[in-house]
Amino acid sequence: MGDIRRRGAVVLGITGLVAPLTLALGAGSAQASTSCTTSTGPYQKQVEKFLGLTVDGKQSARDCKAIKAFQTKHGITPNIGYAGSVTWGVMDLMNKQKAVGNNPDKDGKCPTNKGRIACVNLTLQLSWIQDGGKLVYGPVPVRTGRKGYVTRTGLKKIYWRDKNHVSNIYNVPMPYSQFFDGGQAFHSVNLSMWNPPGSHGCVNMTPTTAKKYWDLLKTGDDVFVYGRKPGT
């Protein structure tokens, strides 16, 4: 989310959302500085299944290493390899996103009488662009507002675009910003889309997605935001 007074990102398909163990083990070396818990978590079996581990409901060194790597990759803290509610919540959301496939508007909630429109499903943390009933791009995972900074729902329009915007509230770059509701905008971030607890109200996107939205949308295009983000 940025202050609009200061004026100064290949489709990521749903099929790429979950590659459990490979994804989890791709984390950096930052995890080495944190201890690994021996405690079994309340979601141990679910987390083991998601990561392709032996499902026995008992924490092992291999379990902890894989869980910890997943947590590190997605900014889940503390990243000690514990199979708790936050970690499972992220995995469960990934499963639900993957299940959507290439039919994100199956429930018919995003308007089909507006021409080209960007849709944001807060409940599933997904966004896509459609033109009438035709899917143009997506669906892709996004990161919306956290509790206290929720992304506001309803039908809106893109009213200002700034490719190199910098927020003078948070003093952070917001590349490919497309504002649609006050200071709330689509923009690129260099974070995991599943990094909790969420944004300060903007719809965060990967650089690839934000650039694609920039290329496909223009000032005056409609945006429809609906649902409720888990935990808000």
pLDDT tens, position by position, 79-107: 999 999 999 999 999 999 999 999 999 99
Q: In this predicted model, which residue has the larger pLDDT, 30 or 128?
A: 128
| Three state DSSP letters for the chain | CCCCCCCCCCCCCHHHCCCHHHHHCCCCHHHHHCCCCCCCCCCHHHHHHHCCCCCCCCCCHHHHHHHHHHHHHHCCCCCCCCCCHHHHHHHHHHHHHHHHCCCCCCCCCCCCCCCEEEEEECCCCEEEEEECCEEEEEEEECECECCCCCCCCEEEECCEEEEEEECCCCCCEEEEEEEEECCEEEEECCCCCCCCCCECCCEEECHHHHHHHHHHCCCCCEEEEECCCCCC
| Main-chain phi, psi angles of 154, to 5 degrees | 120, 180
pLDDT for the residue numbered 34? 66
Given a cut of 50, whether residue 162 has pLDDT beyond it is yes
Q: What percent of the chain has pLDDT over 70?
A: 85
Residue 43: is its pLDDT beyond 80? yes
List domains and CATH numbers for the chain: 16-99 (no CATH), 103-226 (2.40.440.10)
User: How many C-beta atoms surround the C-beta of residue 103 within 10 A?
Assistant: 10
- Report d(CA 179, CA 203) in Å as an integer: 10
The pLDDT tens digits for 105-145 are 999 999 999 999 999 999 999 999 999 999 999 999 999 99
Check residue 77 and give its pLDDT.
96
pLDDT at 184: 97
pLDDT at residue 168, rounded to an integer: 82
Does the N-terminal peptide bond of residue 139 adopt cis geometry, omega within 30 degrees of 0?
yes
Mean pLDDT across the chain: 88
